[in-house]
């Protein structure tokens, strides 16, 4: 089946938040749209609401009157499918329930033409399962938009086991014509975005659960590498009930693979009704008058230091350039050790090392490890941990030195991978597994995470920056520390390390 959908009439079923947005985007692209909802009057209400929001955009000069009139004229609310028999594409955005979606498509299959494509906006159900029992399951495909639909660019085009490649391609092409960035995905739990994003939340929850770092420090560290929101504030915004439900669904759908184990810390929040912003309290308190906690950005005064050395691993030119620029800007002199086993600074017996995943205590008595960060130009917040034997004087010296070099160091517990390294390594690992399993390709994973959830870079872009060997080292340190399946390394990443070694 190779349908052409460029001039198809579109039937959107479900006039809720997603359906209304999909109808708008389709009409904006010039399609005639039928909008249908099981609840009486809902489709008309959605059109009235759309008129209001388009009028507001008109007032701001984002649309012309002709455009607004055209969009609204092209959307026709309907009360029965009999009014939409000439639809060439159905996009369903009804309740997230497998039986309801199956029943809807079975009803539509009997009414609409055999060429009509049946697309589902499901965010968690299997496209293969939705298509089960239909006369022609090959025309069922996922067309997963992100909220708010008119603004979010990503569309995951999800193929079930029986989806015809031509149908997926037609939806891919159509999404492009609608101004979106489509990415092909295979129907597996969480598709691309909801799957790869799990560790962003899970690692923050693990750090909180183990009392390794305060939420405001975790958030500040993740914002420092370019995330618009840290994981704790984002979960508070999404709602812990919703976030926990997605995690549970992905966990169950993966046959309770420990990799996706939900967090006790989050289930406690849900049990206590502390759902986030919407209930006035989540990880943070939103009650009137309470202020969000802030991290201390104050630098300690730098004492006179005798002999400083800048260490750099042989291939870590980026790390060395970053440190050299920082030392120069601070007017601090240091000798260079370019073939070191680690990157960072040495002051007497004190080593300040970029994390390779291992806790500081595993590296020596007077060691501080600092987190992955964006070289130059990134925000200054940087997590560090000190070995259990480190003297208070050395810890203060390291903090002062990091401060003088433009960082705002934040102490966290001496656990593997600190905050950023641990989280990014797990995001990369999840993305690598998704590619290994044919869910998407690496470019698709990068585009999906940047456009679906506004990540500052895609997992494979981070991988390019840090290197497969470094990512695997962090994961192995986590695995050695925690034992169990959670931090097992993706075979794709192991292969990438092997390839890099053999290419060298
Ligand atoms: P919603 O509750 O805002 O809207 C659902 C609408 O569908 C309601 O108006 C309801 O009356 C109608 N409906 C329910 N059963 C129906 C049926 N059998 N026939 C016709 N209409 C029916 O929900 P939503 O947030 O718009 O989500 C809709 C779908 O989109 C779900 O599958 C959801 O998982 C998916 N989705 C949601 C988001 C999001 O952020 N909200 C993002 C991506 C995908």
95 lines ligand 1 (CB under 6 A): yes
Distance CA 141, CA 334 (A): 60
Alpha carbon separation from 306 to 229, 344, 424 (Å, rounded): 40, 17, 36
Query: Backbone dihedral region of 410: left (phi > 0), alpha (psi from -120 to 50 degrees) or beta?
Result: beta
93 lines ligand 1 (CB under 6 A): yes
- Catalytic residues, by residue number, are 123, 144, 156, 194
Q: What domains sit in the chain, N to C, each tagged with a CATH number?
A: 10-187 (3.40.50.720), 193-286+419-504 (1.10.1040.50), 308-411 (3.40.50.720)
- Alpha-carbon 35 to chain mean position: 31
142 lines ligand 1 (CB under 6 A): no
* Residue nearest atom 40 in ligand 1 by C-alpha distance: 147
Alpha carbon separation from 310 to 7, 215, 274, 459, 465 (Å, rounded): 63, 32, 47, 29, 21
451 lines ligand 1 (CB under 6 A): no
| Ligand 1 centroid to residue 233 C-alpha, Å | 25
| Ligand 1 centroid to residue 282 C-alpha, Å | 25
Phi, psi of 380 (to 5 degrees): -75, -20
* pLDDT at res. 492: 98
Ligand 1 pocket test, pick from 93, 147, 243 with the greatest ligand atom count within 8 Å of Cβ, gives 93
104 lines ligand 1 (CB under 6 A): yes
Distance CA 145, CA 19 (A): 10
Ligand 1: nearest atom to the Cα of 122:
32
**pLDDT, mean of each 10-residue run, the chain (504 residues):** 86 96 98 97 97 96 95 97 97 96 98 97 95 97 96 97 98 98 97 97 98 97 95 95 93 95 97 96 90 81 80 81 89 90 93 96 97 80 97 94 93 98 98 97 98 97 94 98 94 95 81
Contact 354, 343 (CB under 8 A): yes
| Ligand 1 centroid to residue 17 C-alpha, Å | 7
DSSP-derived pairing of the beta strands 33-36 and 75-78: parallel
209 lines ligand 1 (CB under 6 A): no
Q: What is the DSSP letter of 300?
A: P
* pLDDT at res. 316: 75
In 340-385, alpha helices (H): none
CB atoms within 10 A of CB 228: 12
Ligand 1 pocket test, pick from 16, 22, 149 with the greatest ligand atom count within 8 Å of Cβ, gives 16
Distance CA 15, CA 42 (A): 6
* pLDDT at res. 205: 98
37 lines ligand 1 (CB under 6 A): yes
* pLDDT at res. 370: 97
Q: What is 433-501 written as a DSSP string? A: HHHHTTS--HHHHHHHHHHHS--SS-HHHHHHHH-HHHHHHHHHHHHHHH-SSTTPPPHHHHHHHHHHH
Alpha carbon separation from 111 to 80, 83, 164, 372 (Å, rounded): 11, 11, 21, 57
State whether the Cα torsion 22-24-28-33 is positive or negative: positive
DSSP-derived pairing of the beta strands 154-159 and 140-145: antiparallel
Ligand 1: nearest atom to the Cα of 46:
9
Ligand 1: nearest atom to the Cα of 101:
18
The DSSP H or E segment spanning 122 is: none
409 lines ligand 1 (CB under 6 A): no
| Ligand 1 centroid to residue 19 C-alpha, Å | 7
Q: How many CA atoms lie within 13 A of 51 on its CB side?
A: 12
**Helix, coil or strand: residue 310:** strand
> Whole-model pTM?
0.93
| Ligand 1 centroid to residue 319 C-alpha, Å | 48
Q: Which of 370, 390, 26, 346 is nearest to 174 (CA)?
A: 26
Q: Which of 242, 174, 241, 235 is nearest to 204 (CA)?
A: 235
Alpha carbon separation from 371 to 51, 224, 409, 453, 494 (Å, rounded): 49, 11, 10, 23, 23
| Ligand 1 centroid to residue 200 C-alpha, Å | 26
43 lines ligand 1 (CB under 6 A): no
């Amino acid at each position: 089946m190779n349908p052409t959908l460029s001039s198809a009439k579109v039937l959107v079923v479900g006039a809720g938040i997603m359906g209304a947005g999909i109808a708008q985007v389709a009409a904006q692209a010039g399609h005639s749209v039928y909008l249908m909802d099981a609840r009486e009057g809902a489709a008309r209400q959605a059109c009235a609401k759309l008129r209001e929001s388009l009028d507001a955009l008109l007032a701001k000069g984002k649309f012309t009157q002709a455009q607004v009139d055209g969009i609204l004229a092209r959307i026709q609310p309907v009360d029965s499918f009999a009014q939409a028999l000439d639809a060439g594409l159905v996009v369903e955005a009804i309740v997230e329930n497998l039986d309801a979606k199956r029943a809807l498509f079975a009803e539509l299959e009997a009414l609409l033409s055999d060429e009509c494509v049946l697309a589902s906006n499901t965010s968690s159900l299997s496209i293969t399962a939705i298509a089960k029992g239909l006369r022609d399951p090959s025309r069922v495909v996922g067309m997963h938009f992100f909220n708010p639909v008119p603004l979010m660019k990503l569309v995951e085009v999800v193929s079930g086991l029986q989806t015809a490649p031509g149908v997926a391609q037609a939806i891919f092409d159509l999404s492009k014509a609608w101004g979106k960035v489509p990415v092909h995905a295979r129907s597996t739990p969480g598709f691309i975005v909801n799957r790869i994003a799990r560790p962003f939340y899970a690692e923050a929850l693990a750090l909180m659960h183990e009392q390794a770092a305060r939420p405001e420090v975790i958030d500040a560290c993740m914002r420092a590498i370019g995330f618009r929101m840290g994981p704790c504030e984002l979960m508070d915004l999404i709602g812990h009930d919703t976030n926990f439900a997605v995690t549970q669904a992905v966990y169950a759908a993966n046959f309770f693979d420990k990799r996706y184990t939900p967090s006790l810390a989050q289930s406690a929040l849900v049990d206590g009704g502390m759902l986030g912003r919407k209930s006035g309290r989540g990880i943070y308190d939103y009650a009137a008058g309470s202020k969000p906690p802030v991290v201390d950005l104050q630098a300690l005064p730098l004492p006179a230091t005798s002999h400083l050395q800048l260490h750099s691993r042989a291939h870590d030119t980026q790390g060395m350039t970053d440190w050299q620029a920082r030392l120069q800007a601070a007017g601090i002199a240091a000798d260079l050790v370019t073939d070191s086993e680690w990157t960072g600074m040495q002051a007497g017996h004190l080593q300040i090392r970029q994390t390779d995943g291992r806790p500081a205590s595993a590296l020596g008595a007077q060691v501080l490890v600092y987190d992955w960060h964006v070289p130059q130009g990134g925000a200054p917040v940087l997590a560090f941990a000190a070995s259990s034997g480190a003297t208070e004087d050395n810890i203060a010296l390291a903090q002062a030195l990091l401060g003088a070099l433009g960082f705002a160091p934040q102490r966290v517990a001496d656990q593997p991978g600190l905050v950023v390294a641990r989280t990014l390594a797990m995001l990369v690992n999840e993305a690598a597994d998704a590619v290994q399993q044919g869910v998407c390709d690496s470019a698709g994973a990068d585009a999906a995470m940047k456009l679906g959830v506004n990540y500052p870079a895609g997992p494979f872009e981070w991988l390019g920056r840090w290197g497969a060997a470094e990512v695997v080292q962090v994961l192995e340190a986590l695995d050695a520390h925690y034992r169990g399946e959670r931090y097992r390394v993706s075979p794709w990443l192991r292969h990438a390390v092997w390839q890099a070694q053999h290419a060298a």
